Chains A and B, each alone.
Chain A
Amino acid sequence: MAIYELTIPLQDTDIEQLNVGDAVYLTGTVCTARDMAHLNMRELVDNHHPLPENLQGGVIFHAGPVMVKDAQDHWQLRVIGPTTSIRMEPHAEFIGQQGIKLIIGKGGMAEGSLAAFKKHKQAYLQAAPGCAVVLAEGVSKVKAVHWLENGMPEAMWVMETERFGPFIVTMDCKGNSRYDTVKAHAKEKADAIMKEKS
């Protein structure tokens, strides 16, 4: 298990070195995007409009933060943590085409994403689920927000991060998925348990 400290924007070479099981800390700009922000991004691209943020070499965090406004009317992050990534699986190829290098979330994604990760040199990072206070320590500033009309969780929050993590690489750009190996082993084990009982 190697530990990497990566700076955003990322290059293909940053991603190629990552293997399932490695730990990663990130520094640079991270954008949140959940279900609705993905739909907004697709609509803009379909209509040949630019995205509100440059996502080349960027990082998308499947997350909805708790934000509060301070006395100066600036957004301040209270806590942030991962949401279930599989909901964003239909957008796998689209996200690959936008030049996004890392996706952070929980629970992993499926075959479509694994194929896109190979093709576009991307990887998936698992955040510790439900650890919103610990993760918030790595966010130094809220830079911008887009699509706030979607509601706080579904808006795109643009955040400056510093040694944000730790995240575990659970899907790499070589076709490996920790979720697949864990599930395959679990299925074998379940068959053995049921055989024992019959």
Chain B
Amino acid sequence: MRELGITYEEVYDLLHQACTTISPDVLYLMRNAVEQESYPEAKVFLQTMIDNVAQATEKDKPVCQSPGYPTVWIRFGEAFDMDPLLSYLPKALTEATKAGLIRPSIVHPLTRHNPGDSTGEGVPNIELQHVSGQEYVEIIMSAKGCGAELGNVSKILTPATLGKNYSGLKRLVLDTVINAGGFPCPPSAIGIGLGGQMDVSAKLSREAISTRSWLDHNPDPLLDQLEQELLEDINQLGIGPAGIGGKTTTLAVKIAGAATHTAICPVTINFHCWVARRFGVRIYPDGKREMLFQVKE
């Protein structure tokens, strides 16, 4: 088995950067949004959000007080030894918590006991994916705010409720966005998981919005069209930043699909707050690093 060649310091540095700025693609979308927003209060909030990111980076502080729930996606093709990386991740999370970069917010689900250092069963959530033939290893760290989670919906549609021209799905998305209002820290983004069973659609919904660039296009033409259409429709609703009215409600819609059973169409709608704290890196066999989510200007 080959060595991946990543050090603990490098892992900690990635996490540090993820806490003190937001993903470059999302910052690009926020800057566009403030230009296009016409509601005065919405414009003030959007500008405050952009200023807040700049101040966080400058002062080496976390962008948002809410650390969200930490998930790391690791996609690997060749047989690298993942064990060192897997042992660094919880350690980096605990160290960053002690350093005041991450608020200790991980608790036992029933007793609500907070160990105070972001440790706990299953934390961080690590999603290991083997991608056959992929020469590089891709690591994406993501902290998605949990206020956003309160608006999430899972529903099992049927062929009848999916409706003609997927109208049942579209209605469900619009209703979910309206019901969520300001909870998910809009301008939000939305991941939609389609297919599988409930658990599959739920995982796909989080993966879609957390691992794809918010500027990319879906390689599936049908899903790409649906993403564009839903984004346009949602932004006509006038919910706006913080849910107090405005043109900017959602920055991106990302859909991931899987085949399902003939009787059902599971759907999960997963909100992402605008504070998209994530950092991704690809490590090539020759040791070269490539940062993800960069914007080509």
A interface residue numbers (CB < 8 A to B): 1, 21, 36, 63-68, 78-81, 83-84, 86-87, 106-108, 126, 128-134, 136, 150-154, 166, 168, 170, 178-179, 181-183, 185-187, 189-190, 193-194, 197-198
Q: How distant is the Cα of A97 from the Cα of B62 in the complex, in angstroms?
A: 36
Contact A131 B62 (CB under 8 A): no
From B49, B238, B239, give the contact of A131 (CB < 8 A): B49
Q: How distant is the Cα of A106 from the Cα of B236 in the complex, in angstroms?
A: 22
Instruction: Decide if the interface of chain B is mainly helix, strand, loop or mixed.
Output: loop
Count residues of chain B with CB under 8 A from any CB of chain A. 58
7 shortest interchain CB distances as A-B pairs: A151-B114, A107-B182, A130-B275, A129-B185, A84-B147, A186-B237, A131-B52
Instruction: Decide if the interface of chain A is mainly helix, strand, loop or mixed.
Output: mixed
Closest B residue, CB atoms, query A187 = B178
- Residue B181 interfacial (CB < 8 Å): yes
Q: Which residues of B contact A68 (CB under 8 A)?
A: 100
- Residue B243 interfacial (CB < 8 Å): yes
| Minimum distance in angstroms from A177 CB to a CB of chain B | 10
Q: Which residues of B contact A136 (CB under 8 A)?
A: 61
Closest A residue, CB atoms, query B175 = A190
Q: Which residues of A contact B48 (CB under 8 A)?
A: 128, 131, 134, 166
| Minimum distance in angstroms from B56 CB to a CB of chain A | 5
| Minimum distance in angstroms from B67 CB to a CB of chain A | 8
Contact B181 A151 (CB under 8 A): no
| Minimum distance in angstroms from B188 CB to a CB of chain A | 10
Contact A132 B147 (CB under 8 A): no
From B56, B150, B183, B245, give the contact of A178 (CB < 8 A): B245
Closest A residue, CB atoms, query B55 = A133
Contact B59 A133 (CB under 8 A): yes
The stretch of B101-109, B123-131, B206-214, B257-265 in contact with A is B101-109
Contact A106 B182 (CB under 8 A): yes
Closest A residue, CB atoms, query B104 = A152
Q: How distant is the Cα of A64 from the Cα of B103 in the complex, in angstroms?
A: 8
**Most chain B beta carbons < 10 A, residue from A36, A86, A106, A168:** A106
Q: How distant is the Cα of A64 from the Cα of B105 in the complex, in angstroms?
A: 9
- Residue B66 interfacial (CB < 8 Å): yes
Q: Which residues of A contact B49 (CB under 8 A)?
A: 128-131
Once A66-B65, A81-B65, A134-B51 are accepted as A-B contacts, the answer to whether A182 and B181 lie under 8 Å apart by CB is yes
Contact A189 B62 (CB under 8 A): no
Q: Which residues of B contact A65 (CB under 8 A)?
A: 65, 103
Contact B243 A130 (CB under 8 A): no
Given contacts A81-B66, A129-B274, A132-B52, 15 further A-B contacts (CB under 8 A): A64-B105, A106-B185, A107-B243, A128-B52, A130-B52, A130-B274, A133-B63, A134-B55, A151-B113, A152-B114, A153-B103, A182-B243, A189-B238, A193-B174, A194-B174
Q: Which residues of B contact A166 (CB under 8 A)?
A: 44, 48
Q: How distant is the Cα of A136 from the Cα of B114 in the complex, in angstroms?
A: 24
Contact B178 A132 (CB under 8 A): no
- A to B CB contacts below 8 Å, 23 in the list: A78-B100, A79-B56, A83-B147, A126-B182, A129-B185, A130-B64, A130-B273, A131-B64, A133-B52, A133-B56, A134-B52, A136-B61, A150-B112, A151-B105, A151-B116, A152-B114, A152-B116, A182-B238, A186-B177, A186-B239, A189-B238, A197-B165, A198-B165
Once A126-B244, A130-B49, A168-B41 are accepted as A-B contacts, the answer to whether A79 and B64 lie under 8 Å apart by CB is yes
Once A108-B181, A126-B182 are accepted as A-B contacts, the answer to whether A150 and B114 lie under 8 Å apart by CB is yes
Which B residues between 63 and 78 are near A, CB-CB below 8 angstroms?
63-66
- Residue B195 interfacial (CB < 8 Å): no
Q: Which residues of B contact A86 (CB under 8 A)?
A: 150, 183
- Residue B134 interfacial (CB < 8 Å): no
Contact B145 A151 (CB under 8 A): no
| Minimum distance in angstroms from B275 CB to a CB of chain A | 4
